[in-house]
Structure 1
Amino acid sequence: MTAKELVERFYQSDGFRNKEVMQEFLDDDLEFHWHSTKGFLKMDKTDLMELSKELNRSYTSSRVAFSHILEEGNSVTVRFAYFVTPIETPTEEQILAYFITIWEVADGKLFRGYQMSQLD
């Protein structure tokens, strides 16, 4: 599987809300650097697993709509909108935020991530 295929599968499998998917795709030594509209976060695998639990509690479903997926060697850049359905309004999907993420893949896992996001 190419790095691009790995990243696509991660996002298409609802990885953000699924702890088992996170476990499968994320390297144990993962580092994730996230610049958001609320500040900078440096996260590890445990932190992302906790975020996954929070997202699963808050939203009944989610999906990613890619606008760009670029691969160079073992790095993949994705640009996407993240849609969610809040538990409070289970019939109303909304855009949570827009993201651009650069993933470094090593040994078939997501090893390093560099992300910028903006709330809708």
Structure 2
Amino acid sequence: MGIKSKEIVENFYTSLFKGEEGVLDNYLHPNVNLTWYGTTGLKKLDFNEILNLRDDMAKNFEELKAEVEKLVEEDHQIAIQFTYHVKTIENPDEEMPLAHFMAIWELKDKKLFKGVQISQLGEEIDESPWS
């Protein structure tokens, strides 16, 4: 049995910064389009812009990992809620939340094709909102 759509979305966010060779090729469609509403405003990103963002973040953080809270699929659209936690170069012993995200993706050829993402700067939360 092949990889499921929800697994593709989750694996993209959880493996994005682990230094795997060709990770973007594995998950992103060559014509990917991500609309991102963030604290710095609206961004529209294509494949190369997502690659550049990933490379910039990898230079700035010792470690970055995604903690997935919710993953839902309906009518060929996958929604994910997660938080990126980071360890900075200045303080590699302390992990802190970087940002909270909600994203909805459509896949094409089993790759992320069209996405909308919303993020907010991270803050500590005591428990899962889904508890």
What TM-score, normalized to structure 1? 0.92
Match of 1:43 in 2: 45
Distance 1:8 1:82 in 2: 13
Q: Distance in 2 between matches of 1:112 and 1:70?
A: 16
Q: How does 1:1-120 map to 2 (within 5 A)?
A: 1-13=3-15, 15-16=16-17, 18=19, 20-120=22-122
Larger strand proportion, structure 1 or 2?
Answer: 1
User: How many residue pairs align between the two structures?
Assistant: 119
**Alignment partners' CA distance in 2, 1:85 and 1:112:** 30
1:54-89 deviations in Å (ceiling 9; x for gaps): 011011111111111000132110011110111111
Could you list the runs of 5+ residues in structure 1 that have no partner in the other structure?
none
Following superposition, the deviation at residue 17 of structure 1 comes to: 5.8
Specify every segment of 5 or more residues in structure 2 that has no aligned partner in the other structure, as ranges: 123-131
Aligned CA-pair RMSD: 1.4
Q: Is the 8 A contact 2:84 2:100 kept in 1?
A: yes
Residues 70, 33 of structure 1: CA spacing in aligned structure 2 closer, same or farther, 3 A cutoff?
same
> Which deviates more, 64-73 or 16-25?
16-25
Q: Deviations over 1:17-36 (max 9, x none)?
A: 64621122111100000001
